[in-house]
Amino acid sequence: MRHRLEPGRRVYLVAARGRLSLNDVAIKARDGVAVWDMAELTIEAIEDSELLALDLP
């Protein structure tokens, strides 16, 4: 999955369960990741996963 960020926007992601890759960085269940200054995110499930994403100003 790809998510494009508008300039000035931030995203906070939490892997509720499973394992994911965010721009080639591994994220496991219950990890939280803050993202800013990126134009696009590439999110891939390594295994069956659930992800919470907050798009912030």
pLDDT of residue 31: 98
pLDDT per residue as tens digits for the range 13-32: 999 999 999 999 999 999 99
Residue spans of beta strands (DSSP E) within 1-57 = 2-4, 10-17, 19-22, 25-28, 32-35, 40-45, 50-56
pLDDT of residue 34: 97
pLDDT of residue 29: 98
Say how far apart CA 7 and CA 44 lie, in whole Å: 23
DSSP state of 20: E
Average pLDDT taken over every residue of the chain: 96
Say how far apart CA 22 and CA 27 lie, in whole Å: 7
- Residue 46: pLDDT band (50, 70, 90) is very high
The answer, as to whether pTM is greater than 0.75, is yes
